Amino acid sequence: MEKKDFDTNALPKEPTNKLRLTDLHEKINAMFAYVYNYGLNVDKDVASLYFSETKLDAGQLTEIYNHLASVVKPAKPATLVMLHKASRSPWKVFGPIPFIRFMSVFAIVALLLLIALSTSTHIDGKSPMYDFAIQDRARLLTQEAFLLAAAALGACFAALFEVNQYVKDGTYEPRYVTSYWVRFILGVMAGFILAMMIPVEAVSKSGDQSFAFGGLLHPLLALIGGYSSSLVYRILNRLVVGLETIFKGSADEQFSKKQAKVKEAMLTERTNEKLAVLNEIHRMVSEAYDDSESVKKQLTDLYDKLSKT
């Protein structure tokens, strides 16, 4: 007897509605917890129906869900579920969500590193400071690490401040966490670029950078650049536009030249059409019969009028 292969597809599949209802219950529970914790008004009939012993179907759960979602606005159910779970986490002291915890740890590390490096003999406010031409490699690396720590601290500050607003309002969405990490990395890069590329020593009369804010201008620029990477982007963008203007001319100048060429071409075309009409009238006048004096006179007047315009 030929042995048949066992067909796993023939087995009855478990219904997925249980999983979906469980997820719906989870969101409803989180919204009820949020409502009761923050003293929001909820319909007593809705609460009585949900907490009764009666088994609810999907339609009834959906009605309860929609009512609670309108009550907790602008907070979002998925965010409330995440915050509800995080409230029971042993790491909640560092923040209610993983991203805030990581950023808090990074901020503490950056702050400690900034304090530790500030005690180094290489951070003394004396020239040369923050210069790629420094011969002492250890001094240069220490100063660059100092600026990176300042930029990271600024980037952490910006990220924590922004995300904290969303968490407080209950509108934080995990799908944007990649964007927050990208902003953090851009902030560190922007702070380092801003601090290392601006020649602060050119402003100082003595060439001693301790003259410029006690030698703190470079770290301050790194902190500002880390906090607002968009500022550095706009600065670099303006520099690029300035260089393009030098070699290509401004956009307005280019537009004016193009507009002048179009007008010149239109004027030339109009002149050519006018000359063609004049030549045709001249031909008609010269070929007209002698008894067509009135026609000849009209054509002559039209020719004179066109030739004057």
pLDDT in tens, the chain (309 residues): 444 444 445 444 444 444 467 888 888 888 888 888 888 888 888 888 888 877 888 888 888 888 888 888 888 888 888 877 777 777 776 777 888 888 999 999 999 999 998 888 887 766 666 776 676 788 888 888 999 999 999 999 999 998 988 888 888 888 888 999 999 999 999 999 888 877 666 555 554 544 455 567 888 889 998 998 888 888 888 888 777 777 666 666 677 778 888 888 888 888 887 777 777 767 666 666 555 666 666 667 666 766 666
DSSP, residue by residue, 184-196: HHHHHHHHHHHHH
CB 155 within 8 A of CB 189: no
Placement of tokens 């009209």 in the chain: 298
pLDDT at 12: 46
Please tell me the distance from the alpha carbon of residue 46 to that of residue 275, in angstroms, as a whole number: 87
Which candidate, 180, 173, 179, 176, places its Cα nearest to that of 158?
180
pLDDT at 289: 55
Q: Is residue 190 domain-shared with residue 243, that is, in the same domain? A: yes
Last residue of a domain, one of 86, 104, 126: 86
Tell me if 76 sits within 8 A of 171, measured CB to CB. yes
Domain termination residue (choose one: 57, 86, 115): 86
Domain count, the chain: 3
CB 164 within 8 A of CB 100: yes
- Expressed as residue numbers, the domain containing 280 is 251-308
Contacts of 304 (CB under 8 A, 6+ apart): none
DSSP labels, 149-170: HHHHHHHHHHHHHHHHHHHHHT
Whole-number Å distance between alpha carbons of 160 and 103: 7
Tokens matching residue 290:
């002698």
Residue 9 domain flag: no
The span from the CA of 114 to the CA of 148, in Å, is 9
* C-alpha angle 174-175-179 in degrees, rounded to nearest 5: 100
What is the residue whose two structure tokens read 């979906």? 20
How many degrees, rounded to 5, is the angle at CA 98 between CA 116 and CA 155?
45
73 with 164, same domain: the answer is no
Q: Which of 113, 90, 104, 220 lies closest to 167 in space, CA to CA?
A: 104
Boundary residue ending a domain (33, 65, 86): 86
Query: How far, in Å, CA of 49 to CA of 214, rounded?
Result: 68
Residue 273 falls inside a structural domain: yes
* 126 lies in the same domain as 214: yes
241 and 270 belong to one structural domain: no
Is 211 in the same domain as 69? no
Residues 42 and 126 in one domain: no
- What's 79's DSSP letter? H
Residue 171, SS3 per DSSP: coil
Contacts of 130 (CB under 8 A, 6+ apart): 143, 144, 147, 195, 196, 200, 209, 218
With H, G, I as helix, E, B as strand and everything else as coil, classify residue 277.
Answer: helix
**Distance, CA of 252 to CA of 22 (rounded, Å):** 62
How far apart CA 294 and CA 291 sit, in angstroms, is 8
pLDDT value for 126: 66
Task: Please report the pLDDT score of residue 294 as a whole number.
Answer: 64
Distance between alpha carbon 88 and the CA centroid of its chain, in Å? 33
Nearest to 35 by CA among 188, 196, 170: 170
Say if residue 118 is in the same domain as residue 78: no
| pTM greater than 0.85 (yes/no) | no
Q: Are residues 243 and 255 in the same domain?
A: no
pLDDT at 261: 85
Q: Within this chain, do residues 114 and 193 fall inside the same structural domain, yes or no? A: yes
